[in-house]
Homo-oligomer: A and B are copies of this chain.
Amino acid sequence: MDKIFRVNMTDLTTTTEEVPLEWVGLGGRALTSTIVASEVIPTCHALGPNNKLVFAPGLLSGTAAAQSGRMSCGAKSPLTGGIKESNSGGTTAQQFARMGIKALIIEGLPQEDKFYSLHVTKDSVTISEESELIGKGNFAVIEDQMAKKGDKVGVMTIGIAGELKMAAANISVKDPDGKIRSHGRGGMGAVMGSKKIKYITVDAEGCGPLQLADSDKFKAASRVFAKSIMDHPVAGEGLGTYGTNVLVNILNEAGGLPTKNFRYGQFDDHDKISGETMHDTIVARGGKPKHGCHKGCIIQCSQVYNDKDGNYVTSGFEYETIWGMGANCCINDLDAIAEADSLMDDIGLDSIETVVMFGVAMEAGILEFGDSQGILRLLREEIGQGTPLGRILGSGTGIVGKVYGVTRVPVVKNQGIPAYDPRSVKGIGITYATSTMGADHTAGYTIATNILGIGGHVDPLSKVGQVELSRNLQIATAAIDSTGMCVFIAFPALDIPECLPALIDMINARFGCELSGDDVTELGKSVLKLERQFNLDAGLSNKEDRLPEFFKSDPVLPHNAVWDFTDSEIDEFWNF
Residues of A participating in the B interface, judged by any CB pair closer than 8 Å: 41-45, 47-50, 78, 164-167, 190, 193-194, 387-389, 391-392, 395, 399, 402-405, 407, 409, 536-541, 543-544, 546, 548-550, 553
In the complex, A188 Cα to B310 Cα: how many Å? Answer: 56
CB distance from A438 to the nearest CB of B (A): 14
List residues of chain B with CB within 8 A of the CB of A550: 48
In the complex, A47 Cα to B407 Cα: how many Å? Answer: 7
* Cβ-neighbour of A405 out of B193, B409, B540, B544 (below 8 A): B193
**Integer count of this chain's copies in the complex:** 2
List residues of chain B with CB within 8 A of the CB of A553: 49
| Sample of 4 further A-B pairs with CB below 8 A, known A388-B389, A391-B392 | A44-B549, A194-B407, A536-B543, A538-B543
In the complex, A402 Cα to B164 Cα: how many Å? Answer: 11
List residues of chain B with CB within 8 A of the CB of A190: 405
In the complex, A387 Cα to B404 Cα: how many Å? Answer: 11
Contact status A402-B167, CB under 8 Å: yes
List residues of chain B with CB within 8 A of the CB of A546: 43
List residues of chain B with CB within 8 A of the CB of A536: 541, 543
Decide yes or no: A399 and B403 within 8 Å by CB, A43-B543, A539-B541 being known contacts: yes
Contact status B402-A43, CB under 8 Å: no
**Closest residue to A364 on the B side, CB-wise?**
B391
**Closest residue to A41 on the B side, CB-wise?**
B549
Contact status B45-A548, CB under 8 Å: yes
**Closest residue to A389 on the B side, CB-wise?**
B388
List residues of chain B with CB within 8 A of the CB of A48: 407, 549-550
CB distance from A415 to the nearest CB of B (A): 14
In the complex, A549 Cα to B41 Cα: how many Å? Answer: 10
CB distance from A551 to the nearest CB of B (A): 12
Decide yes or no: A402 and B405 within 8 Å by CB, A388-B389, A549-B50 being known contacts: no
List residues of chain B with CB within 8 A of the CB of A45: 407, 409, 548-549
Contact status A405-B537, CB under 8 Å: no
CB distance from A60 to the nearest CB of B (A): 36
In the complex, A45 Cα to B410 Cα: how many Å? Answer: 12
Most buried by B among A45, A389, A395, A405: A405
* Cβ-neighbour of A392 out of B403, B407, B540, B541 (below 8 A): B403
**In the A-B complex, the 5 residue pairs with the closest CB atoms:** A165-B405, A539-B543, A388-B389, A48-B407, A541-B541
* Cβ-neighbour of A539 out of B43, B50, B537, B544 (below 8 A): B544
